[in-house]
Amino acid sequence: MALYQEPRLLDFTKTPPHLQFNKYVLTGYRPVSTAGECLRSLFYIHNELGNIYTHGIPFLLFLVLLPCSIPWMEVDSTWICVAHYLACLCPTIGSVLYHLFMNHIGGQHVYNTLLSLDMVGVCLVNTLGALPIIYITLLCYPTVRQTALLAYILVSAYGIYCATTAHTNFLRLRAFVWQALFRFSLFLFRVYGTGVGSPESLRLFVIMDTLAALGGLVNVIQIPERFSPGLFDNWGNSHQIMHVMVVCSIIYLHWGTMEDLAWIRGFQCPAE
Ligand SMILES: [Zn+2]
């Protein structure tokens, strides 16, 4: 006898309106559920299972494996390592909570809160993840560096406000543009100005941002399910593709930051 009788899954038209955000995903919707029932949905197939596991498994791997490769004691400012570690964890845990409990019995209010949490997680990987990049790029300009760190945190706070109040995927994607422009200007300062950092890390950071932007774009244009509604309900739809690209983007962030941290150990700012 089965330990748990899985519920009857719903079609798109039978699911609550606030869960009808992808009209090309036709079946596999969980019914409105209690927190316990949401947790039990980890163990049967439905159209959010792929979303939960594509971020759930990387979260656990990052949680356990990243501390082994972060040089906690070899960096002057340990907060850089802490910010980087949290940056790598934030988007995946926010996403898991959102996808796991989005059909909670609390309805649209709970859904909106969880969506905001998911968005904050994505904003935080940008915010916390960029702090080491700013710190290292402006290593030889301590005063400018403090101002830039503060400015980036303010830009990020605005991004979080935009992302949590946006009502469409396009507007949510747009909320990240300001942070991206700020990072891009840092990259330019490294290439054409007197910013410092490992020559190798810049390439890794550009790949990181490209993967994240492409993932966001795939999610907005809803490919491939747009071309074959119903075929990608449970596996392989645009949101899952975005999740995988976000995970790859985080890995590139980690590689780039580790490259920079290894590089500054042998670097001396030129005398004035
Ligand atoms: Zn997601």
- Residue 61 Cα, ligand 1 centroid: separation in angstroms? 18
Question: What pLDDT band is residue 1 in, cutting at 50, 70 and 90?
Answer: very low
Query: Residue 272: what pLDDT?
Result: 66
Angstrom distance (rounded) from CA 6 to CA 38:
11
Q: Which of 191, 195, 192, 89 is nearest to 148 (CA)?
A: 195
Amino acid, single-letter form, for residue 12: F
- Residue 187 Cα, ligand 1 centroid: separation in angstroms? 28
Query: Residue 266: what pLDDT?
Result: 87
- Residue 158 Cα, ligand 1 centroid: separation in angstroms? 21
- Residue 115 Cα, ligand 1 centroid: separation in angstroms? 9
Query: Residue 3: what pLDDT?
Result: 58
Binding-site annotation, residues: 99, 239, 243
- pLDDT tens digits along 192-204: 988 999 989 999 9
- Residue 185 Cα, ligand 1 centroid: separation in angstroms? 28
Mean pLDDT on 184-193: 91
Instruction: Inform me whether the pLDDT recorded for 39 exceeds 60.
Output: yes
| Residue 23, token pair as written in the block | 């009209």
Angstrom distance (rounded) from CA 82 to CA 76:
12
Out of 3.90.1150, 1.10.3470, 2.30.29, 1.20.1070, the CATH code matching 12-264 is: 1.20.1070
Instruction: Inform me whether the pLDDT recorded for 105 exceeds 60.
Output: yes
- The rounded mean pLDDT for the chain is 92
Question: What pLDDT band is residue 174 in, cutting at 50, 70 and 90?
Answer: confident
Segments making up each domain of the chain, as ranges = 12-264
- Residue 51 Cα, ligand 1 centroid: separation in angstroms? 6
Query: What's 42-107 look like in SS3?
Result: HHCCCCCHHHHHHHHHHHHHHHHHHHHHCCHHHCCCHHHHHHHHHHHHHHHHHHHHHHHHCCECCC
Q: Which of 91-105, 158-172, 247-261 has the lowest mean pLDDT?
A: 158-172
- pLDDT tens digits along 217-231: 999 999 999 999 999
- Residue 151 Cα, ligand 1 centroid: separation in angstroms? 28
- DSSP for 3-56 reads SS-PPPPB-GGGS-GGG---TT--S-BPPSB-HHHHHHGGGS--TTHHHHHHHH
Instruction: Inform me whether the pLDDT recorded for 48 exceeds 60.
Output: yes
Angstrom distance (rounded) from CA 48 to CA 239:
10
Question: What pLDDT band is residue 29 in, cutting at 50, 70 and 90?
Answer: very high
Whether the full predicted model's pTM is greater than 0.75, yes or no, is: yes
Binding-site annotation, residues for Zn(2+): 99, 239, 243
Query: Residue 75: what pLDDT?
Result: 86
- Residue 166 Cα, ligand 1 centroid: separation in angstroms? 16
- Residue 138 Cα, ligand 1 centroid: separation in angstroms? 34
- Residue 191 Cα, ligand 1 centroid: separation in angstroms? 34
The fraction of the chain above a pLDDT of 90, given in percent, is 76
